[in-house]
């Protein structure tokens, strides 16, 4: 890849690191006391966990992610930020290696669509979150809800994510699953990020998303980014760019009862991601 390609990838990644301060704005909306234990699920390179550390004055924040490369990046960002209270561990969100009731809060930021590809998987994830939360604990869930995409360019970005690999759920589906497993949704809000990649950045985005699947999970049969770009390029160019991650939906829920044990539920686990 030439220097122009590398620069575009670096710049398009930096949009994601910042996302117009939306992580920080969301963490400020979490009503917590200091000194609590928080868990960040699908922490990626750790930005949401590090915001929690800054804003919530916790006792500890544990960020977990299935991908080792992301956990390593999170460690590096934590070092750069002189973090003292955040810990990052490679772990599967469906099998959290923690005792029940140990966390005061669980957060997850733009990871639901990566972790769960169908409704039974989402419900199973929420049960696991419910298990590790204490009674009355908070679940701060930030994700993309497809029905709220406003422009053709935002809709196209979701289509591309889904084509490469992502599950998206409507607010009603998320809310119903949360309530089924013992959460009460306290409020729902939207945050615009203002992201609009130009066509060259959109190309770098597609390459990054496709190649990341091999880097993170070792998938040899990842989609070929050139084929994905060829498929979507005309529409991206016609729209003048791609509004990726343009809107974040934030649901704040509280654990009001324990979930039923997993053994009582008939579940198809075939959609789970395995490293
Ligand atoms: C878009 S990234 C997360 C972004 C991050 N939360 C932030 O604030 O920037 C989604 C992450 O979910 C992780 N993930 C996917 N399936 C997972 C699973 N079963 N358990 C834990 N993490 C998972 C991916 O490895 C990826 O790093």
Can you spell out the DSSP letters for 91-154? --TTS--S-TT-EEEEEEES-HHHH-SSHHHHHHHHHHHHHHEEEEEEEEEEE--GGG--SHHH
How much distance in Å is there from the Cα of 112 to the middle of ligand 1? Answer: 8
125-150 pLDDT tens trace: 999 999 999 999 999 999 999 999 99
What radius of gyration, in Å, describes the C-alpha atoms of the chain? 18
Distance 238 CA to ligand 1 centre (A): 31
Torsion of CA 167, 98, 188, 36, to 10 degrees: -150
Is residue 274 assigned to a domain?
A: no
Neighbour tally for 275: CB within 10 Å: 12
pLDDT in tens, 18-40: 888 999 999 999 988 889 999 99
* Band of pLDDT at residue 9, cut at 50, 70 and 90: low
Q: Which atom of ligand 1 is nearest to the CA of 115?
A: 16
Lowest-confidence pick of 20-29, 173-182, 246-255, 258-267: 258-267
Per the domain annotation, does 265 fall within a domain? no
- Whether 50 is in the pocket of ligand 1, judged by its Cβ within 6 Å, is no
The pLDDT, as a whole number, for residue 11 is: 60
Is residue 56 one of the residues assigned to a domain? yes
When the pLDDT of each residue in the chain is averaged and rounded to a whole number, the result is 90
CATH of the domain at 232: 3.40.50.150
Whether 6 has a pLDDT exceeding 60, the answer reads no
Residue 275 in any domain: the answer is no
Handedness of CA 78, 142, 265, 104 (dihedral sign): positive
Whether pLDDT at 274 is above 60:
no
Beginning with the edge strand found earlier in the chain, give each strand of the sheet holding 37-41 in spatial order: 86-90, 60-65, 37-41, 103-109, 133-143, 247-255, 183-192
Quick one: how far is CA 65 from the chain centroid? 10
143: closest CA among 40, 248, 41? Answer: 248
CA-closest residue to ligand 1 atom 11: 42
Q: Is residue 76 part of a domain?
A: yes
pLDDT, tens only, 74-115: 999 999 999 999 999 999 999 999 999 999 999 999 999 999
Structural domain harbouring 193? 3-256
44 lines ligand 1 (CB under 6 A): yes
Under 8 Å CB-to-CB from 179, ≥6 apart: which residues? Answer: 185
- Percent of the chain scored above 70 by pLDDT? 90
CA distance 214 to 218: 4
Q: What is the DSSP letter of 52?
A: H
Q: Is residue 155 part of a domain?
A: yes
Is the CB of 109 within 6 Å of ligand 1?
A: yes
Asked whether residue 260 carries a pLDDT value surpassing 70, the answer given is yes
Say if residues 133 and 103 touch (Cβ distance below 8 Å). yes
Q: Whose CA is nearest to atom 4 of ligand 1?
A: 44
Whether residue 271 is contained in a domain is answered as no
| Residue 223 forms part of a structural domain | yes
Which pLDDT belongs to residue 165? 87
Give the chain's domain count.
1
Burial 119-146 (b: 16+ CB within 10 A, else e): bbbbbbbbbbbbbbbeeebbbbbbbbbb
């Amino acid at each position: 890849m030439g220097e122009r390609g590398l620069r575009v990838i670096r710049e398009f990644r930096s949009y994601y690191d910042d996302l117009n301060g939306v992580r920080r704005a969301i963490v400020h909306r979490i009503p917590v006391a200091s000194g609590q234990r928080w868990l960040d699920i699908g922490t990626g390179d750790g930005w949401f966990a590090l915001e929690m550390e800054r804003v919530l004055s916790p006792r500890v924040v544990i960020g977990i992610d299935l991908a080792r490369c992301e956990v390593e990046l999170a460690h590096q960002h934590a070092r750069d930020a002189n973090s003292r209270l955040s810990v990052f561990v490679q772990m599967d969100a469906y099998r959290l290696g923690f005792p029940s009731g140990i966390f005061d809060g669980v957060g997850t930021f733009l990871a639901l669509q990566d972790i769960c590809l169908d409704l039974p998987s989402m419900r199973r994830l929420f049960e696991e979150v419910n298990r590790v939360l204490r009674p009355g604990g908070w679940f701060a869930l930030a994700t993309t809800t497809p029905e709220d995409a406003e422009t053709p360019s935002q809709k196209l970005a979701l289509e591309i994510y889904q084509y490469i690999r992502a599950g998206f759920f409507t607010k009603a589906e998320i809310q119903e699953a949360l309530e089924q497993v013992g959460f009460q949704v306290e409020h729902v809000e939207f945050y615009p990020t203002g992201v609009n990649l130009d066509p060259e950045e959109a190309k770098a985005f597609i390459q990054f998303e496709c190649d990341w699947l091999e880097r993170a999970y070792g998938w040899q049969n990842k989609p070929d980014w050139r084929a994905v770009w060829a498929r979507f390029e005309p529409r991206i160019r016609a729209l003048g760019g791609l509004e990726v991650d343009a809107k974040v939906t934030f649901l704040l829920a509280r654990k009001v009862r324990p979930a039923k044990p997993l053994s009582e539920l008939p579940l198809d686990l075939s959609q789970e991601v395995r490293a």
